[in-house]
Structure 1
């Protein structure tokens, strides 16, 4: 009797457990059936992608990274990157909201080792709470590693902070906020802490509107936020460690995964256009050569993103949670390379895909339209501005040694 041969997993799911692969497939269904059909309205109206986020909540995926001992799914960044990539192919705003939320969850999972934060993670699992970050700040020139606003201690022992956040993505839809601040009034600007504040603890004054070129569904205006909270809500780890070990790697990897999704769908639309043209011509169209070129760039982007995703999981499996390697100059430089390359490639790939599709890709009402992809792609270089990252990397290269040279 012949043995029953199970079908192989798609290459993108290789290495995932059966449960993890099933969860990624479920997100792909949500992307196709929920996020995609709503994406045009989300973009047109610059509104929050509530359909996609509600569907992810229903699958308990906002707590996917929470360890199983707290009721979560214990998903690693490889699994979450696949989810961001799937969402990015259908609705970049939904993908970016999901990615940014998971970055905040990872900061709490990896650095919130106190009873308060452990209880909060269990609450996150039960209620599928959405966490937004308040890291941008007026007056610091775009530096995430500098804070003007300090934690002020009141007479009763409670804490207060007032922060002018220049960009607070999905702040209106969020349930809770992770806020970067100066540790106290005596601290220097670089001595930072991270605070988890619940929305009822916050007074939020809207500053401006969000009528942006792309990523319109992230709903990212500025807010002046005043929060009152207990001292137990300060994440115990220094923000310098949170930033280097978790926030930067997770942001660069999951953002890049979402951008990879955008680029993948842009090339898919260009490919469909070329095939349709070829059928009508009964010959290989001239645009097939350019399709080969852009597909090569997409493959390079995919390999780079997937390689770093797997590498991060390998690093954090070490006894020290990857702390030593993640604190190294080499790791900082290479993670910055990932962000720089991905953010520049996504815009270049979408531009080339648009030129392949021509006027049909330029139209909003075409099945080959790449207009939203291109507008969303141009946000990538602005999220932690590439010029700032190049400047930081330039300084690091003074001491960095590439062993390959």
Structure 2
């Protein structure tokens, strides 16, 4: 475990022959730009364009794509490292990268194996496209496993008209992956996933984004009208895509992002304690024990995330292992525990810094990380997850033994 990064990530062994140091240097270049513009992105609640221009220039938007499609065939652990590194300096940039990477993982892992979809993947890689998603609709809130709008088929063409209540960074994206009912006759839970490129759709804003944190994600609502080729609709049921890729990868990358935010706050708390101790000839400030508590909490948080990534990586090629109810429950609970741990870690750092952490104009300000990290408990509300897990446990019962770690 490390408080400076996720130890599973960037190991240079995932399809790319690039040494780990070179990938780290590319990440560092993007982090430097994200840090430079983080305050203005937050203040103006605008998309972090400069950071994503650099991520695109460093070809970090396609690291999960196959090499044949302009990517590097890297694993979720590498994407998690990017999320963690960005989270230390700009929460919004990290969260957008996390959501983009989960969308890429979905289209890569569940792509239909025909030439037309291979062309779509090559286009995404060549242009280093940024992928957004629309999985919430109308009054459904965070119930991503139900859709009202349906795919309409007309020969070789498809269309969709959707009340997309939340599309993060929608106006800045190059493509959108969206859920929908398979057909007008389908049940709301009989869903598919469709990939539409920017020239396939229009967005009419219905909900603005004026919030306390994660302001640069620009998670606005839109009326989405899209039309494209029938091949742009994945044939695999979304239920499977959600269970095997969308939920696990999203929760892991969100958790990596939150770990990075917490790490950035802890670094400020440690810097504050060192500065005060130097000025006081070695006498520690009252907040020093809280800085230690923040560091311990961060180590626990990183351990949770690394364990989740290791478990997912071990199961990634085994559909039965991914479908296992205990694994599904563990990934849902990981989201909750990572959220709660990250919030408590940032709060410890905040209290360690005292009034310096409270001030917006202090070099040790924890204001932005604290506002941003509070979003973690309401991005798919923790109470909703716990209620769903509770219902599953009632059906599945309590295990009689502790399973051997995989």
Alpha-carbon distance, 1:12 to partner = 2.5
Query: What secondary structure sits across from 2:20 in the alignment?
Result: helix
CA contact under 8 A between 1:192 and 1:238: conserved in structure 2? yes
Match of 1:5 in 2: none
CA contact under 8 A between 2:148 and 2:188: conserved in structure 1? yes
Match of 2:149 in 1: 149
Superposition TM-score, scaled by structure 1 size: 0.93
Match of 1:12 in 2: 7
Match of 1:346 in 2: 342
Cα distance in 2 for residues equivalent to 1:14 and 1:129: 23
CA contact under 8 A between 2:291 and 2:349: conserved in structure 1? yes
Q: Return closer, same or farther for 1:182/1:11 CA change in 2, 3 Å cut-off.
A: closer
Match of 2:298 in 1: 298
CA contact under 8 A between 2:166 and 2:219: conserved in structure 1? yes
1:359 lines up with 2:355 in the alignment: yes
Tell me which stretches of 4 or more aligned residues in structure 1 moved more than 6 Å.
none
Alpha-carbon distance, 1:137 to partner = 0.6
Query: What secondary structure sits across from 1:168 in the alignment?
Result: strand
Alpha-carbon distance, 1:390 to partner = 0.6
Cα distance in 1 for residues equivalent to 2:144 and 2:236: 16
CA contact under 8 A between 1:27 and 1:87: conserved in structure 2? no
Match of 1:274 in 2: 273
State how 1:130-141 maps to structure 2 within 5 Å: 130-141=130-141
1:332 lines up with 2:331 in the alignment: no
1:307 lines up with 2:302 in the alignment: no
1:77 lines up with 2:76 in the alignment: yes
Q: Return closer, same or farther for 1:11/1:145 CA change in 2, 3 Å cut-off.
A: closer
Q: Return closer, same or farther for 1:15/1:367 CA change in 2, 3 Å cut-off.
A: closer
Q: Return closer, same or farther for 1:169/1:152 CA change in 2, 3 Å cut-off.
A: same
CA contact under 8 A between 1:192 and 1:240: conserved in structure 2? yes
State how 1:27-66 maps to structure 2 within 5 Å: 27-66=26-65
Instruction: Describe the superposition over 1:117-144 as per-residue Cα deviations: whole angstroms up to 9, x where unpaired.
Output: 2111111111111110011111224200
Alpha-carbon distance, 1:189 to partner = 0.7
CA contact under 8 A between 2:262 and 2:346: conserved in structure 1? yes
Q: Mean alpha-carbon deviation: is it higher for 10-19 or for 27-36?
A: 10-19
Alpha-carbon distance, 1:276 to partner = 1.3
Q: Return closer, same or farther for 1:102/1:23 CA change in 2, 3 Å cut-off.
A: farther
Cα distance in 1 for residues equivalent to 2:296 and 2:30: 25
Instruction: Describe the superposition over 1:270-316 as per-residue Cα deviations: whole angstroms up to 9, x where unpaired.
Output: 11111111112222333222222221111100011011112211211
Q: Structure 1 stretches of 5 or more lacking a match?
A: 1-8
Alpha-carbon distance, 1:27 to partner = 4.3
